[in-house]
Structure formats: C-alpha cells, structure tokens
Amino acid sequence: MEKSKEIMSRTANIIKSISNQPYILSGLRAASRIDDPRAQRVWPYLFESSKDNSTCFTNEEKIIYMILRLYAIHQQGKNDQVCEFNRNEGRTFIDELIRLRRLLDDVNGLDRRVNNLLATNNINYFYKQLVSLIKIMKSKNDDFKIDYVNLTKDMYYLQSYSSSKKIRLAWGKKYYKNIKY
C-alpha cells in the first residue's frame, strides 16, 4: 500500500475510534506536541498498527498526530461529527476556507493568514497556521466539516519540498480563483 494511503487509513480509523472519547480529545487539544504527556492519551491508537520500533517518532506519526489534534480542536463543543469521511464528496480544508471567507465581513486578516500558510516551507509553521484557521472557523459557529483524511495526505506530502510546492500551489489556485477583487 502506498505510504500516503496507509497513513490516511490509519488516520480515519483513529478518528472513528476516538470521536466519542472526550478524555482523549481533551488531551489532544491540550498537547500541541506529540511528546507532551497529555498526548500520551492517544498513543495506544497511534501506535497500535505501527511497524516502527525506534525510540523516535516517525514523520508519519507526527503528521497523524497533527491531524488528530486539528480534529480534536474542531470537534470540541460540537454534537455532530466535523470530519467528512466521503473521499469523493468530502469538503477539503481549502473548500472550507473559501466558505469561511464568504461569511466574514472583514477578510483581510483571513487572507493574510492564508498567504502566510501558502508561503511557508516549514511544516510546523504550516501546522500552526492550520490550528489558527480551524479556531477562526469554529468562531463562526457554522457547520464546517473537513475531510481530515484527505488533509492527512496533503500534510504528508508537505514534508517534501517538491511536493510541498505542488500542494501549496494547488491550494493557492483554488483559494484565489474564488476571490473577486
């Protein structure tokens, strides 16, 4: 199985397993890093199908953790599931940013954040921007749903410089194509 499909499958299975476990979701929200003691609440799910026996976290585990944390932040206070699992019709993160932009009165702050997101090659900075954007979405109290499984694939490819450029370009084209100046 291709590596990106494998981590997408692992992410989907973990989200389904933890979606109704507030203790684990609160640990994810509180722990910005995978090595934080509060993050250990999700470790049994994260490592149960891991083939790696090293004493370091793999890049794949870090990506899955980042996605799980984004999901936990987004899911907080919501009764309905915020994760789309329909890969053919699921709402991508960028689709929801476009929808958010349409809801805002002042779009300058959002556009600046999106510009920063698309300009960086640093996956950790990219992730921090995603966290901020999820929080902005939540503040609008709308029914934003994101295909976190697909976002896992994009985050996985963001680790490589050449793939990262392609992902950021695709996101940028989609976002700016929908802006009317």
The predicted pLDDT at position 175 comes to 93
DSSP sequence for 33-92: STTSGGGGGTHHHHHTT----SSS--HHHHHHHHHHHHHHHHHTT-SS--B---TTTPPP
* Residue 113, burial from CB neighbour count under 10 angstroms (0-12, 13-18, 19+): middle
% of residues, the chain, pLDDT over 70? 96
- Per residue of the chain (181 residues), give pLDDT as tens: 488 899 999 999 999 999 999 999 999 999 999 999 999 999 999 998 777 788 899 999 999 999 999 999 999 988 888 998 765 566 899 999 999 998 888 899 999 999 999 999 899 999 999 999 999 998 887 789 999 999 999 999 998 888 899 999 999 999 999 777 6
80 CB-near residues (< 8 Å, 6+ apart):
143
> Which two tokens mark 96?
């929801």
Q: Are 110 and 173 in contact (CB under 8 A)?
A: no
| Whole-number Å distance between alpha carbons of 18 and 41 | 10
pTM: 0.92
> Which two tokens mark 156?
């996985």
Q: Return the percent helix, strand and coil in the chain, to nearest 5.
A: 65, 0, 35
> Which two tokens mark 118?
């698309």
| Whole-number Å distance between alpha carbons of 3 and 90 | 21
pLDDT tens, position by position, 41-69: 999 999 987 777 888 999 999 999 999 99
